[in-house]
Amino acid sequence: MKVIGVAGPSDSGKTTVVAGLATRLSDRGTVGTVKRLTHEPDIDTEGKDTARHRAGGSSRTVGLTDDGGWFGTGDGRTLEDVLDDFARECDYAVVEGFSDSRLPKVSLGDRPAAAPVVATAAGADELGLDDVTRLVEDLPSYETPASLVAKLRDTAGTGDTESVATSTVPVAELALGDDVATQVEAVDRRLRSRGGVREARVHHQQSLFDDRDDLVYLVVLADDSVRANEAIGEAIDRLVETA
């Protein structure tokens, strides 16, 4: 899932940009949107920002307050919680607000936004939405083990008869030497070529949250549980063997 944030002061056109991006991205896949709220909402009514998200093409919309509350169905939620849920069923997430986050973001107006900022404009009218839409495709993917399992099953075109094994390795535990991308690519290729493995994915998840470390997710879909677990074990050994 590709994630893009839209930051800026009030009346800078953030919701207009979110709706415009949702419209364009929904032609390419499923879009989820998130809006940061500074107060508890009453109800989602016609003409309100969150209603405009959906009118723009979002199939799921969640409003979050600074303390983790949200409107819709459920208890307290964080931005990470919502993105983790979106990753299982959305191709894109567009986040309004959270200017202090580590999300790649569009910055509107003159209020500073935390890096990384991938595009800037004085307001919504000055922003090239088509350019930003193309830029989103080049962003790193946000994944979870659950979203990777779902993608593997879709790619393999299989049901539930095969076995899945997953593991998570902190980047800090990886072997010294090659960079993370090189190690991930090498292990991914080896897993895919292993006998009995239907599909595999090794993904470097760069943290978007200050209190989280970068992680490497390993997911294997194999003929049976023995092959799946053996493949995961070997892959972990290769990643950390000289750390």
- Residue 120: beta bridge partners? 107
Q: What is the DSSP string of 18-76?
A: HHHHHHHHTTTS-EEEEEEESS------TTSHHHHHHHHT-SEEEEEETTS-EESSSS-
pLDDT at 67: 76
Handedness of CA 184, 188, 191, 193 (dihedral sign): negative
Could you tell me the pLDDT band of residue 61, with boundaries at 50, 70 and 90? Answer: confident
Average pLDDT, integer, range 81-96 = 94
pLDDT at 19: 95
According to the model, what pLDDT value does residue 43 have?
A: 47
With cut-offs at 50, 70 and 90, classify the pLDDT of residue 75: very low
Confidence at residue 115, expressed as pLDDT on a 0 to 100 scale:
92
Domain spans of the chain, in order of start = 2-137, 145-240
Among the listed residues 84, 102, 80, the one whose alpha carbon sits nearest the alpha carbon of residue 7:
102
Highest averaged pLDDT of the listed ranges 127-131, 177-181, 192-196: 127-131
User: Hey, what CATH topology would domain 145-240 get?
Assistant: Aldehyde Oxidoreductase; domain 3 (3.90.1170)
What's the DSSP call for residue 141? B
Per-residue pLDDT averaged across 61-73, rounded?
A: 70
Asked if residue 160 has pLDDT above 90, the reply is no
How confident is the model over 94-111, as pLDDT tens digits? 999 999 999 999 999 988
Q: Structure pTM?
A: 0.81
Topology, domain 2-137: Rossmann fold (3.40.50)
For the segment 82-97, the average pLDDT, to the nearest whole number, is 94
The string over 156-187, giving b where at least 16 C-beta atoms fall within 10 Å of a residue's C-beta and e elsewhere, is eeeeeebbbbbbebebeebeeeeeeeebbeeb
Average pLDDT, the chain: 87
Task: Write down how long the chain is.
Answer: 243
Q: What percent of the chain has pLDDT over 90?
A: 58
